[in-house]
Amino acid sequence: MKDTILNKRVVFVTGKGGAGKTTITAAMAIAAASHNKNVLIVETHENEALGSHFGQIRFTEKPSRLDSNIWGVRIDPKTVLEEYIQRYVTVPFVAYQIIQSRIFEHFAVAAPGLKEVMILSEIWRFEQKKNSNTKTPLYDLIIVDSPATGHGLSLFRVPSTLISMFQTGPIAVQTRWVEDMLKDSTRSCLVLVALPEELPVNEALEFERKAENDLNMGVAAIIVNMIYPEIFSPNEVAVIERMDNSEPGKKQPALEAARRQIVRRKVQQSHIHRLITEGEHPVFQLPFYYTNNLDQEQIKDIAEYIRTGLFKTA
């Protein structure tokens, strides 16, 4: 079977803040669902906007059906930790006391990496869930709208820290299962969303090095989002560049705007070129849409790009 994103079980969509992670998570779900996959999309942090792409304000902590084969869920690490304690402390009263205590609050907030492991453990549980009749996985593909890159890396780096803290016990076991999932590149992968600008491209190049060297996680692709479309043909560009717009009092705003667009596109293209030549992973390109807020049609359009492009190459 070809090793493509569609054949993985868990895809973590990460990247710089505002680069388009949430938009691409939603579009990727639509694209995967059109391949008859049962898809679960996961939001992991506050102020999420994933639900709005499916007519919901907010996801709940139990998966809810968004479309014929798309489900959405929100993971709240504190709730997961509470469930965890209820599962392992079998005397309900004691479990209740622990959860209510200030030690719990302190532990939940302060133990380094615990929050991340709770999030990843919940994702692992969704990955393991089976259909009770067919015994096949309940969700073929889980797409995680992950925190922005700075935080994203710490999300994936956690397990080894915790493994060294808890040598034995349920948290240690759970952490190892999570680590196995993350490090198995046939099961999980990262998709990095970048913008075609200098610093984001530098960050993307650095991220892909760290992902494979420090984290041992597979990067399936880098998506460059918001690329200015080619409005003018090379001949038209040459003509626009030759036109004289210097006569005082007769400057043509449309010509100025066209020139600005040409320059911006050239700059973007040079950064994309750098990412393709210096990076090690497939680079997949998505256009910029001239609008304030993407609507359903544009999300479907991005889904179509993903279905016919990204899913064929990565």
Ligand X SMILES: Nc1ncnc2c1ncn2[C@@H]1O[C@H](COP(=O)(O)OP(=O)(O)OP(=O)(O)O)[C@@H](O)[C@H]1O
Residues of this chain that interact with Mg ion (CB under 5 A) are 21-22
Chosen from ligand X, Mg ion, none, partner binding at 294 (C-beta under 5 to 8 Å by type): ligand X
Among the listed residues 18, 150, 169, 229, the single contact to ligand X using CB under 6 A: 18
Which residue in 202, 196, 217, 107 sits closest to 153, CA to CA? 217
Applying the rule CB under 6 A, the residues between 205 and 244 that interact with ligand X are 225-226
Q: Does 286 bind ligand X (CB under 6 A)?
A: yes
Q: Does 297 bind ligand X (CB under 6 A)?
A: no
Q: Does 272 bind ligand X (CB under 6 A)?
A: no
Q: Does 49 bind ligand X (CB under 6 A)?
A: yes
Closest separation in Å from C-beta 143 to Mg ion? 13
Identify whether the C-beta of residue 27 lies closer than 8 Å to the C-beta of residue 302: yes
Closest separation in Å from C-beta 55 to ligand X? 16
Among the listed residues 107, 177, 228, 288, the single contact to ligand X using CB under 6 A: 288
Count the site residues for ligand X by CB under 6 A: 16
Chosen from Mg ion, ligand X, none, partner binding at 63 (C-beta under 5 to 8 Å by type): none
CA distance to 194, 213, 235, 299, per residue, from 8 (Å): 22, 21, 44, 22
Closest separation in Å from C-beta 59 to Mg ion? 13
Q: How far apart are CA 229 and CA 116, in angstroms?
A: 38
DSSP 94-139: HHHHHHHSHHHHHHHHHSTTHHHHHHHHHHHHHHH-B-TTT-SBS-
Q: Is 303 exposed, middle or buried (0-12, 13-18, 19+ CB in 10 A)?
A: buried
Applying the rule CB under 6 A, the residues between 91 and 150 that interact with ligand X are 148
Q: Does 174 bind ligand X (CB under 6 A)?
A: no
CB under 8 Å to 237, separation ≥6 — which residues? 262
Closest separation in Å from C-beta 293 to ligand X? 5
Identify whether the C-beta of residue 148 lies closer than 8 Å to the C-beta of residue 16: yes
Q: How far apart are CA 287 and CA 275, in angstroms?
A: 16
Applying the rule CB under 6 A, the residues between 20 and 39 that interact with ligand X are 20-23
**Interaction site with ligand X (CB under 6 A):** 17-23, 49, 148, 225-226, 286, 288-289, 293-294
